[in-house]
Each structure stands twice: as C-alpha cells, then as structure tokens.
Amino acid sequence: MNCDKIKKQSIAKIVDTENVSKASRCSYILTANVIKIERKGIKTMLRIKYEELLKEFERVLISRGFNEKNALDAATVFAQNSLDGIYSHGINRFPRVVEYLDKGEINPDVVATCEMSMGAIERWEGHRGFGPLNAKQAMDRAIELAKQHGIGMVALGNSNHWMRGGSYGWQAADAGCIGICWSNTMPNMPAWGGKDRKIGNNPLILSVPKSNGDHVVVDCAVSQFSYGKIEEARLKGQKLPVPGGYDEDGNLTTDPAAIEKTWRVLPMGYWKGSGISILLDLISTVLTNANSVQKIGTFGDEIGLSQIMIAIDPGKFNDAETTDRIVDELVADIRSSIPAQEGGKVFYPGEIEIGTRKDNQENGIPVIEEKWNAILAM
C-alpha cells in the first residue's frame, strides 16, 4: 500500500493489507493516536498509542472512585502490560476489573497494610483493595527488606487479582533484585486425574536482573495456557499452538472456545503442574493465614487472593558486572541452540516482551476494536 494513499485523519483504514507491519508503520507516521486495520476473516484491529491507552484507563478509574495518583498508578499497570504484548492482562482484562469495581468487589479507597513483621519477612492484609496497587506495594517492601537483609518476603492476603504477575518480577529486576512471586486463584483447573475444578492455575514468576534492563523473566500460569491467553486466541480467531485443555467429549483440543465451554484447562506438565499448583496454594495460604483456592471458590468471583512476594539482592554476593557476565554467558549458550525448524530462533525468557515493547512504542499497541469501543463507552 502506498503511503500517499492513506488519508491524514485520526483513524486510518487499511483494508486487506498483505503486509500489516509495513502498513502500520506507514500510517503511524501520518496519523495521530489510532490506526485501524481490517483483514478478511480476522477481527478488526486498531493500533493505539500508549499515551492514549493510558489516558482512557486513567479516566475510567477516576470515574470509579480512584484518586488521581492511584488511578495513574493502576492505569499504568494495564497500559504497560498492553505495551509489552500481554494483552490478556492489559486491555482485554480491563473491562472485567471495571465490572468488579461497579459491583463493589474491589474497594478503590483502601491500600494494603502490614500486620506482622519479623526481620526479613512480613505479613500484609490487602483489605480486598485493587490488586495491582497492593501487589506493587508489597513487592516494593520486599525489595526494601532485601536491600537490608539480602532477602525479603511479603505474604499478602485478602487481595485481588494482580493482573500480570510478571509486572512484579520486572519490578524486582529493575531494582537489581532476583524476584520470585506467585498468587493463588479461584478453582479453575481440575487436579490431575479429575474432571471438576478443584485447583488454581496459580501464576508463578521468576526473574533475574541485568544492569541494562534486558532482564530474564519467566511469567507463567501452571496451566498450559492462562485463561487470558485462551480468551485472546478466541478473540483473534486463532487456534492454540498446542493442546491447552479438553472439549466436551473429553478430548484434548487446541480450540480456545471449546476449552472455555468446559473450563477444563490442562495443567502444564500434566501431573507436575497439578502438584505445583497445590503446593503454591498451600504455601501462600499458610504464610498469609488468609484464603485458599478452595475458599476463594465460595466467593462467587475471583477475589480475596493470597500472594507471595520475594526479592533477593544478588549484590550482597556479587557486583553487577559479575551477575551480568553470568546471565550473558547463559543467554549466549541458549541462543546458540540449533533451531528445531529451519529459520527459527530460540529466545530467552523475557526477550520477546522486550522486542514487542519496542515495536508497540513505535507503531502503537494492537487492540481489538470491540474492546476499545467498550472502554470508550465506560
């Protein structure tokens, strides 16, 4: 498509483009905040500038009772998740959070508070406040404790969904710390060998810092795919790359809509993922003395969660150059892998997010049009 043929307007309409990335770059130069991309057989996509997305999130949260500072902090979580390509816990999840606010299940006026402190470990009460703000505050405190003691842990009980758990792994790494954190969930996955939902796909995050910001970060649910990723695939009209759960006939499937019907997601590693889920739930419930997956399942919605934030300061053992050298050596070895497919590439954990962030900063954040319209109408 010739750039000269794209009209200079707030929304550029690009129809049946063969090279979407090229067209997006071209129209991004000419337009303001929104680019519209239509492709046959695929839901209409927009590309929204980060600043525009942030502004709309902030507006909606202020209208739901957040003060300006907390609204900006919370909006930044959703916008940053979307910028990094984690749309399932950014733009796509935002309407559900607003629904919880409207139902009174999230209190915009409260913040987490410390209940018990014993050296490097603390227990905090979340008061069912806004999950991302509580989680950020808890990881901030874990980092402070790690800088004092070498390691810090905050057990945060009775909080709400933290959105993208990886945010707090990146947060720890940005502070020069190793990060370990996880959350329990509502019962949304069968234990291995069962059919009914008894355990959570409790997200687990591990991160190791690099001084240039190219951190190594794993952020994963202990199901093969998170429900957010399954929803994202359905909204995009895509199949999952590998089986992610069971259909109504009890067969493994890559069809996201079929999995959403049964709520039978597949634990990662089969019985191993099931076991990890159970232990993550037990540890978080014991340390917070708050809600287990089983108890959360009695609330009706996914609220009152238990979360663990751990930060470790490697600077107590190594200088930054030593840690960087260790990370660089391991990453270089991983990158030297022989690709399983010709022309393929092996990435280290977190590398794809770094590349996506740069692309979205330049070209705008991809947003499904119906999701964007729903937010504008709030």
**CB contact set of 161 (below 8 Å; sequence gap of 6+):** 97, 131, 183, 302, 303, 305
pLDDT attached to residue 375? 94
Asked if 140 and 277 sit in the same domain, the reply is: yes
Asked if 75 and 202 sit in the same domain, the reply is: no
Answer yes or no: are the C-beta atoms of 249 and 174 closer than 8 Å.
Answer: no
Asked if 182 and 286 sit in the same domain, the reply is: yes
Asked if 100 and 122 sit in the same domain, the reply is: no
pLDDT attached to residue 45? 86
Asked if 11 and 55 sit in the same domain, the reply is: yes
Asked if 134 and 171 sit in the same domain, the reply is: yes
In a domain, 165, yes or no: yes
Asked if 67 and 176 sit in the same domain, the reply is: no
In a domain, 276, yes or no: yes
**Catalytic residue chosen out of the listed positions 89, 127, 149, 215:** 89
Give the burial class of 8: count Cβ atoms within 10 A of its Cβ; 0-12 exposed, 13-18 middle, 19 or more buried: exposed
Give the CATH number, domain containing residue 14.
Answer: 1.10.1530.10
pLDDT attached to residue 43? 66
> How many separate domains does the chain show?
2
In a domain, 332, yes or no: no
pLDDT attached to residue 272? 97
Give the CATH number, domain containing residue 185.
Answer: 3.30.1370.60
12/6 Cα distance (integer angstroms): 7
Asked if 205 and 294 sit in the same domain, the reply is: yes
pLDDT attached to residue 28? 36
pLDDT attached to residue 280? 98
pLDDT attached to residue 5? 33
Give the burial class of 150: count Cβ atoms within 10 A of its Cβ; 0-12 exposed, 13-18 middle, 19 or more buried: middle
Around Cβ 35, how many Cβ atoms within 10 Å? 28
Residue 88 has, within 13 A of its CA and on its CB side, a CA count of: 18
pLDDT digits (tens, 9 = 90+) for 146-191: 999 999 999 999 999 999 999 999 999 999 999 999 999 999 999 9
Which residue stretches of the chain have pLDDT < 70? 1-43
In a domain, 251, yes or no: no
Instruction: Write the DSSP symbol of residue 302.
Output: S
Asked if 82 and 36 sit in the same domain, the reply is: yes
Asked if 206 and 292 sit in the same domain, the reply is: yes
Asked if 131 and 219 sit in the same domain, the reply is: yes
Query: Residue 149 catalytic?
Result: no
Answer yes or no: are the C-beta atoms of 184 and 202 closer than 8 Å.
Answer: yes
In a domain, 333, yes or no: no
pLDDT attached to residue 168? 96
In a domain, 261, yes or no: no
Question: What is the extent of the structural domain holding 308?
Answer: 113-223+267-316
In a domain, 78, yes or no: yes
Instruction: Give the pTM.
Output: 0.83
8/17 Cα distance (integer angstroms): 18
Q: Which of 279, 300, 316 is the last residue of a domain?
A: 316
Asked if 51 and 75 sit in the same domain, the reply is: yes
